[in-house]
């Protein structure tokens, strides 16, 4: 297993209380969550005071405010965690990867969701009823695309997956982060246990493996944003239960297991199968590279022999 797979290791000079209260996986996750909630509350209040969320404001103004709150609370919290607590370079946000892995993630997200729609169209479930060239697309790109892509990937892959993997290993990190990601969508409009399980498998596992293989958050952010934008802004399909106005006016028919129902195509078995095929390829790459991280206690035992 390459040493670079584990971004952080507890300093050998750390005292016993520091090992548990500062550097342990649970302590670092709790620290991030607490800091994130504080900064989210403060930035939300600031954005409201500046009029971003005032009654009568445009969708675009509201979207800019939402983007500012999401970026500030997640990026600053993560930077403080990495720089002040873990005291290491932020390799998962290396600028040299932005120009390569970022576009690769965008392309992957666009191709994957385009494939889902193609299969639904061939199956007679997806129907284009017209075009809407004057659609107000920028607010959705800012909020559902960029804000969700950056914020959710930092929280779920940058914090939860990465830190759990350091302690419990890759398999548990995939399971825990994927289930968390699915559960986070359970209160969305039209959500069911099936839709949350589908998102956990098709997106939670896939994005976790994408981070594991690349050790970069850029492709995860790119794929997440492109998937949402293609789904809502291009094809006019609800994004995780959120109504969308796309460049294409569309409808879906057939049983919910095929069309995804009111929740959107993410609850379709088609999306589940398409994304699972991609996850399988990434898993094969990880296994062949030998990058699957064992639990910390097993790594310590191997180091002693």
Paired tokens of 9:
């290791």
So what's the pLDDT on residue 297?
84
So what's the pLDDT on residue 1?
46
Cα torsion 75, 77, 79, 85 to 10°: value is -160
236: left (phi over 0), alpha (psi -120 to 50) or beta: left
Determine the 3-state secondary structure of 130 from DSSP.
Answer: strand
So what's the pLDDT on residue 302?
63
CA distance 228 to 235: 10
Determine the 3-state secondary structure of 281 from DSSP.
Answer: helix
Residue keyed to tokens 């759990």? 164
Ranges of residues in the chain whose predicted pLDDT is under 50: 1-3
Q: Quick check: 275 and 210 in contact, CB under 8 A?
A: no
Residue keyed to tokens 């350091």? 166
φ and ψ at residue 40, rounded to 5 degrees: -65, -45
Most distant CA atoms of the chain, gap in Å:
67
Paired tokens of 225:
């944003």
Entry field: residues in the chain: 305
pTM: 0.94
**Other Cβ atoms within 10 Å of 10 Cβ, number:** 15
């Amino acid at each position: 297993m390459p040493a670079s797979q584990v971004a952080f290791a507890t300093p050998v000079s750390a005292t016993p209380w520091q090992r548990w209260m500062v550097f342990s996986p649970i302590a670092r996750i709790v620290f991030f969550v607490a800091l994130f909630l504080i900064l989210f509350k403060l930035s939300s209040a600031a954005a409201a005071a500046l009029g971003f969320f005032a009654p009568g404001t445009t969708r675009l103004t509201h979207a800019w405010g939402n983007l500012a709150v999401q970026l500030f609370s997640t990026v600053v919290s993560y930077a403080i965690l990495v720089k002040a607590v873990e005291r290491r370079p932020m390799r998962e946000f290396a600028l040299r990867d932005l120009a390569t892995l970022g576009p690769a993630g965008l392309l992957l997200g666009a191709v994957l969701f385009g494939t889902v729609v193609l299969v639904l169209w061939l199956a007679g479930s997806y129907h284009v009823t017209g075009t809407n060239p004057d659609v107000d697309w920028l607010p959705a790109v800012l909020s559902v695309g960029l804000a969700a892509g950056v914020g959710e990937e930092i929280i779920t892959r940058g914090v939860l997956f990465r830190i759990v993997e350091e302690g419990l290993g890759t398999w548990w990190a995939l399971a825990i982060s994927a289930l968390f990601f699915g559960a986070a969508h359970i209160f969305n409009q039209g959500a069911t246990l099936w839709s949350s399980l589908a998102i956990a498998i098709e997106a939670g596992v896939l994005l976790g493996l994408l981070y594991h293989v690349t050790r970069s958050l850029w492709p995860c952010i790119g794929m997440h944003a492109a998937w949402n934008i293609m789904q809502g802004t291009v094809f006019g399909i609800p994004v995780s239960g959120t109504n969308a106005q796309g460049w294409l006016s569309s409808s879906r028919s057939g049983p919910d297991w095929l069309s995804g129902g009111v929740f959107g195509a993410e609850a379709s078995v088609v999306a589940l199968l398409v994304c699972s095929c991609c996850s399988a390829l990434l898993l094969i790459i990880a296994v062949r590279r030998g990058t699957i991280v064992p639990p910390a206690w097993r790594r310590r035992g191997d180091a002693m022999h």
